[in-house]
Structure 1
Amino acid sequence: MTLKQDTTSITTSISNPTLLAKVDQLRDLNIGQHVPLPQLVVVGDQSSGKSSLLESLSGVPFPKDQNLCTRHATQITSRRDKDECVHVRIIPGPRASEDHKKQVEAFQTKVSSASEFRDKFVDILKKANEKMGLRTDLSSGHGGAIFSEDVLKIEVHGPREDYLTIIDVPGIFRTTVHGTTKDDMVMVKNLVKRYIRDDRTIILAVLPSNVDIATQEILELAEEYDKNGKRTLGVLTKPDLVMEPTMRASVCDLVMGQKRPLTLGYFLVQNRSSDDGVKTVSELDQGLRIQPWSDLPKDRVGILALKEQLQSLLLDITRREFPKLVQDVASQIRQCTVELNKLGPSRQDEREQRSFLSRMAGIFQDRARAGLAADYNAHSSFNQTDLRLITHVVNLTDVFNADFQRLAHSRHFSSLEESQPLESPEPSDAGDRSESQSGLSVDTLRVLLEESGVDKISPKEQMELAEILVLPKDIPMPNEGFTDWIKEVYLQFRGLELGTFNPNLLSVAFTEQSRKWGDMTRIYMSRIIVTVHRFIAATLRSICPEEPTRIQLWAEILEGLLDCYRKAMAQADMLIQVQQRKQPYTLNRQFAADLSKSRGHRITALLRPKAKEDRRFAEPQYMVNLDDIAEAAEGKHNTELLQEEIHDILHAYYNLALDRYIDNIFQLAVDHSLLHGPDSPLKVFTQDWVLNLEARQLEDIAGETISEKKRRSRLSKKITDLHNALKILKSRDSY
């Protein structure tokens, strides 16, 4: 037997079904998994009368066959329309695979009348269960799952339908029967929790009147998410099975709010039993006009009263939550867009990957140019210390120059100034009190460099640059006794020269005097290399926040960087060898001028004892007899004269070579090899380099991981769905 639809129309109809229709459209898009939707959800234990209640409210004749009991959520929507028809389809669950989505979304059934639908519903339900992959026979231990997260949507249209949407979920059970397992028990409970946890859900807790309410787990579950009972409505079923007066009184106490009160209260309804004949909703409600049910408030008894209340609740919560729903959807779009932007541009294929890396390489080169030009306003990232490239290089070079002038010679040269004795060593701390080329105190620059941590090599840098770097070490102060040392060298290299000396002596002496140049230069070069290396790493961190991509890119360019550093070090080594191993020679006219000046100082020193002051002038003037000039050097031995000549030549050449060497080290080994030249490490990561990468390399560097691809796909799909939802919510179209 089938249930006849009641022809009595509920007097209170929905005055504005548009909002409710929009919410149903959002539910069709599965927006509920992202944003809570206003909804009525029917929950209860198995055998609580849930299916009968739904049948009474909607006219949908749920079968009593155990194999076809509620094993998935069912959304029943009634819509007033001039034409009568019923649409049935499946909304895939939130965790459904793409293949499963295609399979269940292909299920579409439409019947032209409610009566035809009642006749075909059992067959439709069986086919829907098959599409969901559910087991057809619960008693068999195989053949598919017992429960599904998919939603069966039944949409009933007709001229006498009132707008109402109710969602039914599987009943909670405590024992494993009919092929169910403990995992099924947990799944069903979690499914119920997922539907009732949101504040926009009205919970219809179905409770048999003939069972002690204290034993009903569904109320405890509802209290877990609705602690104050503000959105839980109790529906008491099966009053015809309550025989004892005390039990009937207990039911009346619930309806009257005198026992376990709920803000939305309790309703008492009579549903059709399995052995009833054809009964309308009105006929079922008539059965409640007996004592003690007839003494209860009329608006709390019967299907018609409950249905009217549900319509009102659904509309009220939808109206109240609608503005916030629009805000939530818009907020979700913004959040998802931020997350998607963090993933960067899509890199699904070779073209996208090459484009992605090319753009990054272009940005890198822009930052490199800005770092070399000290254009630190080019981007906010230049606030990082490691990105102030040229400033660190200049400061390091100024300190290197000051240290080189102070410490690079093995022995102090003798001072030949008139006002000083013949041999007066330079103060050992002269460099500390000196100024750099920029006019800044060298001590100030040392503090700046120490704060930048240029000598604090990290374990990662040590591992990457171990074969290249020369770690800092103490450089000894120059020794004294240059004259005695020159004498010793001269005696070791004397030959049969007449009035002159072995030219190889100058080469040996210069090599000894400049023997610290190599160590000091390699330490300086190492500091510059660390500075450049850190700049490149910091720049990549600022333009490529995705660590996996950055790690792969770094691995690809690292060997190229190391090769550039090796070449720069090799350039410095070549300059060291050129200075130390070649015969001293120069065409610079400054050499002759400095040598002449030294000779003049020596002659002046010899003539000073014989000079006589001429008092005819205001300023002191000294007169020398011409004959004294010829006799001035007569008292010196030829060896002493040659040693003085060697000293003066070496001194003049050393000063000239030192300045030339410092310039060459900076210009050729630093500026050309490490900063601006074609083989600079700053030019390893360029757009041309990207263009020459093979497909495999592109995939290794820029290709998205499986998890990233899934995340991008999920975010893109979510944003699309949310945008569609926002269009629906903001649409002015009437339903």
Structure 2
Amino acid sequence: MTRAHRLLAALNGLRSLGLEKTLRVPTLVIAGNQSSGKSSVVEAIAGVALPRAPGTCTRCPTEVRMSCDSCPHRTAIATANAIRRTLPPADSSWRCRIWLRFEHGAADQRQPETRFSTVYDRAHIAAHVTAAQAMLLNPKGAATAAATSAFMPLPSADGSTLGPSSALAALGDPSEYELRFTRNSVVLEIEGAEADLTIVDLPGIIQSHAEGPELVDLVHQMTRDAIKPENHTIVTTIAANDDPDNQAISLWARQVDPAGARQLAVLTKPDLVPAGMHDEWVQRVQLASANGPQRIHVVRNPGQDELDRDISPEAAREAEQAFFQRSPHWAPIAHRVGTPILRAALSSLLVEIIEQQLPDIQCRAREALRDVQRQLAALPPGPSAGSAPYELPVLLRRVAERLRDELQVGGEADAATYQRFELAYARLGTELGASMPAFYVNGRLFSALNRYDRYDDGGGGGGGDGSEGDSSGRNGSGPNDVDELDVAALRLEAQQAGKVPSAEQVWAAVDEPGPWLRAALAQRRLPPSFQTLDDVSQLLKSYRGPELPPFMPPHLLKKLITRFRGEWQQHAQECLEAVAGVVGAVNEGVVAAELGRYPKTAAAVRSALAAHLESVRADALERLANAVAVEHNNTSVQHLTAYNQYRKAFLAALKHAHMRMDEGSTDLLKQVPQLQGSQTAGADALLLALPSKEEDELQLMAACLAYYKVVFRRAHEVLPLTIKEALLNRLAQPDVLQRYLQEALLGQQPSAEAARELLHESEETTRRRAELADREGRLVQACRLLQQAAPALAPITALAAVPASTAEAAPTPTMELAPASTPAADTAAVLAEAPAAVPAAVQATASTAAVVG
């Protein structure tokens, strides 16, 4: 086998494996106008006649693969003839196998080649190609046939000619076929040809069509798509009686290959060169050879009168030779004229390109194999029928453990779920804060919570967004300081911003909070409603008993406190629902990740987890309601020291606002001996000592604010902890959850049959695994073909484990391969043929490894 034959056989094998696009196999593409003699050039090169009857010209790509080697298989020809209904071989050294290739369009999808027929007589090629093309142009009608054999031509009674089969005749006239053109291909694989060569014949470029411009655009796009890839060499055909500078194919070729490095032109119909134009064409050929990579050849093929006489390929070549010998015009470029020279030039060109690109093709093949093996490794192993009773508990355990990790930030889980829980707890704190007491005293608004409480969303204290700074009075910097909102300053801000038209309306808004004031309070996370000094005075008058001042009824403070109970129960339930919603989403994600390939199991586990979550949520809601009820039904604090500190701070702030001290009063306070080393402590102590006619009201306000400050901090800790313990911790118990899931899926007495029924893999995963295994097998064969084609290149020394697969190898018509049932077996063969540099240890593992690097 010559090196040229070995290279072309390998690349034809890559095509038959459907890897032409993936590996960017070098290809010769012949294109030209419909009347440029393009198909005649292909006929002359291949030595066969293609369809010429009206409606049967090239309407789909025709790929011709030629091999010089004689057909090696001559056994059982009679049986083959009987099966394929072909005539006896006219030449035992020549054979043509015809395939149908259906394009899928994507580089990573297989382009399957379907065996159509085998022909042993050159004279019968046109009839078989006509039938094969008819199948491609009638996808619906052809699909009704039991097999491709139904469309094969039938020999006449005397065996001298072939006629259409009944299935082909049923399709009607070619002008009435379902499709006018198709991207699917007819492949001719010729053994015993006159050259090692592969060329693709495209439909002729048309300028108009009776059925509309859409068909013109389709043919144009097919041609442009075919010549665009850089691994395609463009063979353009130009009739000698056409203007060579006004050809669409020449323009398109220059657009994709400006340098002309992958172009070769063929001048046809030289017998039709206008008088006086011979010298110009000769000069074009000479200049093309001297000044650039583009080459021009001249061929003469039979005219219509010769075709009508059924001229043989041999006679056509003799006529061509005689034409150039008797014409003096072409003598200066004799090395560029004639079909034999063109055929040899194309073969040499293709082999040269293959040799240049073969290392890159090998690299692409190995990288593609590595990629498909990575994808196979990423898929879960296929299910085993006998392992279902053991595999199902393992899967359920993995689900239970992964849920635990997600809910408790363990294992490989990140903190995303935990952070979503924290957001729910922070929203609970905001809602609770909105129900805290607030009192309005002389233009100032006091809340039980300072900015540290209101803006503590789990990230550490305080600071907030700074929005309170311009309208706050005694805002301190410590977590126990008192914040107060200066409503007068807020009024001025609103008036300057045009939110209210007049000062009177601002005061009205203070007395009856309107939208603008509510918005300002919400922005600062302050309660939307508040009580005034008059409101507290009315309460005090309503419950005043026989107690002498400064004593008050013991239940009076409780009455004031109960006014601000708010909707804690609702807020706590909303928080629980939010956390449960996060858990539900986590359940969905875990089921999809762990059980996505088992739809039945996933659906059953998803339903069981939803039921389990609902049961636990109901119990958690009851416990949460009890925790809120404890706060509502009891008015007490245990941390009296903190309570008294808060109460005194609030009372000082309230008195400060109530007395509306002017600058002179403030100066007097600054002269008071400092208490506890703090100037503020001295002022507060003095304020506490000063009497006020609303002393009882201010005391009640301060006590209420201090109580809620303690209770808020207590509730903001206890309620989230209750949710964590009653909901999350109960759900994050792998042993309990696994038992629950097994009982939910299999019942109290699980059976192997029920487990097998659940562990049916999804059709998508099965299909994906089969596709990858098939592609892996083809790529392994491709690596082997390439190694055989160029054994002197760098050996394959890097190995990677190959998942077992049983994909059937695609046929490799031009290169017979040793039988191989698995990719690993093919790999072993590749390694056996590799140079001795491959380590012995590597070869020892060939039975379970695939070539990847």
* TM-score normalised by length of structure 1: 0.62
The answer as to whether partners of 2:288 and 2:294 remain within 8 angstroms in 1 is no
Give the greater-gyration-radius structure (CA). 1
In 2 relative to 1, CA 514–193 (structure 1 residues): closer, same or farther, beyond 3 Å?
same
Residue type matched to 2:561 in 1? Answer: Q
Match of 1:94 in 2: 103
Match of 2:38 in 1: 50
Q: How does 1:79-478 map to 2 (within 5 A)?
A: 79-83=67-71, 84-95=93-104, 105-111=114-120, 117-134=121-138, 142-158=176-192, 161-176=194-209, 182-244=213-275, 246-257=276-287, 263-276=293-306, 279=315, 281=317, 284-332=320-368, 365-366=400-401, 368-370=403-405, 373=408, 375=410, 378-379=411-412, 381-382=414-415, 384=416, 387-388=418-419, 442-443=461-462, 474=527
Look up the SS of the partner of 2:186 in the other structure. strand
1:198 Cα deviation (Å)?
A: 1.1
In 2 relative to 1, CA 296–355 (structure 1 residues): closer, same or farther, beyond 3 Å?
farther
Match of 1:465 in 2: none
Residue type matched to 1:725 in 2? Answer: A
Distance in 1 (CA, whole Å) between partners of 2:318 and 2:584 is 81
The answer as to whether partners of 2:289 and 2:296 remain within 8 angstroms in 1 is no
The answer as to whether partners of 1:45 and 1:173 remain within 8 angstroms in 2 is yes
Match of 2:723 in 1: 670
1:36 aligned to 2:20?
A: no
Distance in 2 (CA, whole Å) between partners of 1:340 and 1:690 is 33
Distance in 2 (CA, whole Å) between partners of 1:96 and 1:441 is 58
Q: Deviations over 1:529-565 (max 9, x none)?
A: 546645764786699699x99xx99997889868866
Look up the SS of the partner of 2:98 in the other structure. strand
In 2 relative to 1, CA 195–685 (structure 1 residues): closer, same or farther, beyond 3 Å?
farther
Look up the SS of the partner of 1:156 in the other structure. strand
Distance in 1 (CA, whole Å) between partners of 2:247 and 2:714 is 95
Distance in 1 (CA, whole Å) between partners of 2:393 and 2:292 is 64
Distance in 1 (CA, whole Å) between partners of 2:386 and 2:430 is 47
Look up the SS of the partner of 2:125 in the other structure. helix
Residue type matched to 2:287 in 1? Answer: G
The answer as to whether partners of 1:345 and 1:356 remain within 8 angstroms in 2 is no
1:161 Cα deviation (Å)?
A: 3.6
Residue type matched to 2:341 in 1? Answer: A
1:94 Cα deviation (Å)?
A: 0.8
Distance in 2 (CA, whole Å) between partners of 1:57 and 1:281 is 10
Match of 1:688 in 2: 741
Look up the SS of the partner of 1:68 in the other structure. coil
Look up the SS of the partner of 2:324 in the other structure. coil
Aligned residues between the structures: 587
Match of 1:65 in 2: 53
Distance in 1 (CA, whole Å) between partners of 2:172 and 2:33 is 19
In 2 relative to 1, CA 487–67 (structure 1 residues): closer, same or farther, beyond 3 Å?
closer
The answer as to whether partners of 2:48 and 2:122 remain within 8 angstroms in 1 is yes
* TM-score normalised by length of structure 2: 0.54
1:323 Cα deviation (Å)?
A: 1.8
Residue type matched to 2:741 in 1? Answer: D
1:715 Cα deviation (Å)?
A: 6.7
Look up the SS of the partner of 1:107 in the other structure. strand
Residue type matched to 1:576 in 2? Answer: V
Residue type matched to 1:71 in 2? Answer: R
Distance in 2 (CA, whole Å) between partners of 1:62 and 1:440 is 80
Residue type matched to 1:30 in 2? Answer: G
The answer as to whether partners of 1:254 and 1:260 remain within 8 angstroms in 2 is no
1:190 Cα deviation (Å)?
A: 2.4
In 2 relative to 1, CA 362–730 (structure 1 residues): closer, same or farther, beyond 3 Å?
farther
In 2 relative to 1, CA 192–492 (structure 1 residues): closer, same or farther, beyond 3 Å?
farther
1:429 Cα deviation (Å)?
A: 7.4
Match of 1:638 in 2: none
Residue type matched to 1:19 in 2? Answer: L
Residue type matched to 1:321 in 2? Answer: Q
The answer as to whether partners of 1:74 and 1:152 remain within 8 angstroms in 2 is yes
Of 561, 581, 592, the residue aligned with 1:513 is 561
Distance in 1 (CA, whole Å) between partners of 2:133 and 2:390 is 47
The answer as to whether partners of 1:253 and 1:259 remain within 8 angstroms in 2 is no
Look up the SS of the partner of 2:233 in the other structure. strand
**More displaced 10-residue stretch of structure 1: 317-326 or 28-37:** 28-37
Look up the SS of the partner of 1:255 in the other structure. helix
Q: Deviations over 1:93-141 (max 9, x none)?
A: 21399xxx99982522242xxxxx1232233223323432458799675
Q: How does 1:514-529 map to 2 (within 5 A)?
A: 516-517=564-565, 519-520=567-568, 522-523=570-571, 526-527=574-575
Match of 2:659 in 1: none
Structure 1: which 5+ runs fail to align?
1-12, 112-116, 412-426, 448-470, 494-504, 595-649
1:317 Cα deviation (Å)?
A: 0.9
Residue type matched to 1:287 in 2? Answer: F
The answer as to whether partners of 1:22 and 1:729 remain within 8 angstroms in 2 is yes
In 2 relative to 1, CA 50–717 (structure 1 residues): closer, same or farther, beyond 3 Å?
same
Structure 2: which 5+ runs fail to align?
72-92, 139-167, 440-445, 467-523, 548-552, 644-703, 748-756, 792-814, 816-853
Match of 2:10 in 1: 22
Distance in 1 (CA, whole Å) between partners of 2:565 and 2:531 is 12
The answer as to whether partners of 2:285 and 2:296 remain within 8 angstroms in 1 is yes
Q: Deviations over 1:692-713 (max 9, x none)?
A: 499xxxx9xx99899x999888
Residue type matched to 1:264 in 2? Answer: Q
Q: Percent identity?
A: 19
In 2 relative to 1, CA 71–732 (structure 1 residues): closer, same or farther, beyond 3 Å?
closer
The answer as to whether partners of 2:37 and 2:268 remain within 8 angstroms in 1 is yes
In 2 relative to 1, CA 257–564 (structure 1 residues): closer, same or farther, beyond 3 Å?
farther
The answer as to whether partners of 1:248 and 1:292 remain within 8 angstroms in 2 is no
Q: Deviations over 1:399-454 (max 9, x none)?
A: 799x99x997899xxxxxxxxxxxxxxx98797689999x996437999xxxxxxx
1:238 Cα deviation (Å)?
A: 1.3
Match of 1:573 in 2: 625
Q: Deviations over 1:484-527 (max 9, x none)?
A: 9799658499xxxxxxxxxxx98897575355455456546645
Distance in 2 (CA, whole Å) between partners of 1:305 and 1:63 is 25
Distance in 1 (CA, whole Å) between partners of 2:69 and 2:612 is 73
The answer as to whether partners of 1:363 and 1:543 remain within 8 angstroms in 2 is no
Q: Deviations over 1:324-383 (max 9, x none)?
A: 2233344445666788899x76999x99999999999866754553455454xx43743x
In 2 relative to 1, CA 492–227 (structure 1 residues): closer, same or farther, beyond 3 Å?
farther
